[in-house]
Homo-oligomer: A and B are copies of this chain.
Amino acid sequence: MRVAVDIVIFTIQAGALKILLVKRKIEPYLGQYAIPGGFMHEDEDLDEAALRELREETGVTDVYLEQLYSFGAPRRDPRGRVISVSYFALISADRTLSAGSDAAEATWWSMKELPRLAFDHAKILDYALERLRNKLEYTTVGFQLLPEKFTLVQLQEVYEAILDRKLDKRNFRRKMSLLKILKPLKEYQTSARRPAQLFRFVASRFEKLKDKGIVFPF
């Protein structure tokens, strides 16, 4: 039995939720797209293997990474028994990625225009998306997809992209304001048509809300 780690890497680009896929250079599924990943080495822990694969295939080292679920159906890999320990990673849109040596091609794909995926990777991706949506409600996971300073438009875009539906702007801002987890800055984003105020996420305030059992019911 062999153990592989596979990593679903999400980002938000131009208001759309995207994931990173690599084109396979070897059999099986040569030439098809897959979630980045590979076999675990003898001397490393699972998290270490996931971080190594992420670095090798994307060039990125400092990201939000968490273990997702292990998949082990008997015929999920034509080479024999391979257990996949899957991870999900979030990368903010302002981070640059470089495809590494393992991947013939590593590219961002919109969740709405995905190619056919190798192995059971479509199933792993479904599971990752469900986890991401659930976590949006009771953790700070959404902020991992934003740069440190962001506008309210950017924040709403993250929620809309993950939930895959439009949110009412006034309602969204009212709820966010009630939560008191954003610190308004004296800085503005000036690239847009009119300057938009920048905000920072205040983690300590979020912790207090969590203790009270308050969630993000968007």
Contact = CB atoms under 8 A, between A and B. Distances in A.
Contact of A46 (B43, B70, B137, B138): B70
Contacts of A40: 1, 72, 83
Interface in A66-107: 67, 69-74, 81, 83, 85
A216 interface: yes
A212 interface: yes
Interface string A40-58: 1011111001000000000
A153 interface: no
A142 to B, nearest CB: 14
A203 interface: no
A213 B81 CA distance: 40
Interface of A: 1-3, 40, 42-46, 49, 67, 69-74, 81, 83, 85, 137-138, 212-218
A72 B73 CA distance: 19
Contacts of A71: 46
A125 B44 CA distance: 22
A135 to B, nearest CB: 11
Contact of A85 (B72, B74, B138): B72
Given A45-B74, A46-B71, A3 B213 contact: no
Given A40-B72, A70-B85, A83-B83, A137 B213 contact: yes
B213 A213 contact: no
A158 to B, nearest CB: 17
Nearest to A138: B138
6 contacts: A1-B1, A1-B40, A3-B83, A40-B83, A70-B70, A70-B85
A65 B114 CA distance: 32
Given A1-B1, A72-B45, A213 B216 contact: yes
A212 B69 CA distance: 27
Contacts of A43: 74
Contacts of A44: 74
A166 B190 CA distance: 54
